[in-house]
Amino acid sequence: MSEMNIKDALGLVVRHISLSTVEMASVMRDIMTGQCSDAQIAAFLIALRMKSESLDEIEGAAQVMRELAAPVDISGLDNVVDIVGTGGDGANLFNVSSASTFVIAAAGAHVAKHGNRSVSSKSGSADLLESAGIQLDLNPQQVERCIREVGVGFMFAVNHHSAMKHAIGVRRDIAQRTIFNILGPLTNPAGVTRLVLGVFSSELCRPLAEVLKRLGAEHVMVVHAKDGLDEISLATATEVAELKDGDIQEYLLTPEDVGIKSQSLVGLDVADSEASLALIRDALGKRETDAGNKAADMIALNAGAALYVAGVVSSLKHGVALAEDTIHGGQALEKMGELATFSQGLTSSQGAE
């Protein structure tokens, strides 16, 4: 069976019967093209959550979101990577993944960063970048220029997934974690095949590595820290499912494994995007506070993983060492300023036309 409407799908899912990839894609296409009522969408999302989403269902939904996204062309570029989290860890740390992008780009990779405004944290990636003066209202061609010319471009989800408008009100009204929390990081509009993906539950590590393999990913680390973070933690071991050369390996990673001392996360939580930006500027700049030094180590851990996955270095340990050198040399902070200036130039020239 291929075509399936949401009513029939709901009848199966409430009985804990999973849909095939093709069936899920059919339902998802109806949702994303405005064919379903809010009540149907809400019921379907909650029923899926209660059953627990299968790999086939996640794959089918991701295929449709990718198909309907406004794409960013990264053809011909080497070492393109995304570093992204599902969010929802409730830790309210400074924005580690966004800070890491500037280190990654300054160290020689290209970052096609997919993100959104804050869902559960005090500072989502979009909020943080706006505070840094980086323009977010860019079209796909302008984002492509950022990636090609600066080494890092930010894809604001609302600008690339306009079909999401059919589900956004429902998601806000039910205020529960749904399959969409998982789909965001799987649907990068640039179609990157290399990424570090942080997840809110260790139970998602292997399944999402499997889904990414099916979707054509080359090298991926799906991570969840023992302290609950949806990124590699400075304070404790992190569970990893790594997809490389078609195989998935699972292991525990500690900071000491890659030459960094474990430290508590005290001082790394922030009240808002402005506080997050101040901490990041300290970490990437002169590191004048204990928190700034800690934040620099946390950024190096995560940026190092992305440099490894991007293929810039041959091992995780080398990636972290390169990230540390890039932070301490000041190039990452320069890269943040470069993206702000470049993106502002794009929007001002657009306004002048």
Residues annotated in a binding site:
85, 88-89, 95-98, 113-121, 125, 171, 230-231
Q: What is the 3-state secondary structure (H, E, C) of the chain?
A: CCCCCHHHHHHHHCCCCCCCHHHHHHHHHHHHCCCCCHHHHHHHHHHHHHHCCCHHHHHHHHHHHHHHCCCCCCCCCCCEEEEEECCCCCCCECCHHHHHHHHHHHCCCEEEEEECCCCCCCCCHHHHHHHCCCCCCCCHHHHHHHHHHHCEEEEEHHHHCHHHHHHHHHHHHHCCCCHHHHHHHHCCCCCCCEEEEECCCHHHHHHHHHHHHHCCCCEEEEEEECCCCCCCCCCCCEEEEEEECCEEEEEEECHHHHCCCCCCCCCCECCCHHHHHHHHHHHHCCCCCHHHHHHHHHHHHHHHHHHHHHCCCCCHHHHHHHHHHHHHCCHHHHHHHHHHHHHHHHHHHHHHC
**Is 121 in a helix, a strand, or coil?**
coil
- Give the rounded distance of the alpha carbon of 216 from its chain centre: 17
CB-CB neighbours of 351 under 10 Å: 7
Q: How far apart are CA 19 and CA 3, in angstroms?
A: 11
Binding positions for Mg(2+): 97, 230-231
Both structure tokens of 18: 């999973």
Binding residues for 5-phospho-alpha-D-ribose 1-diphosphate: 85, 88-89, 95-98, 113-121, 125
d(CA 284, CA 324): 10
Token duo for residue 289: 């506070």
Residues annotated within a binding site for anthranilate: 85, 116, 171
Q: Is-contact 250 205, C-beta < 8 A? A: yes
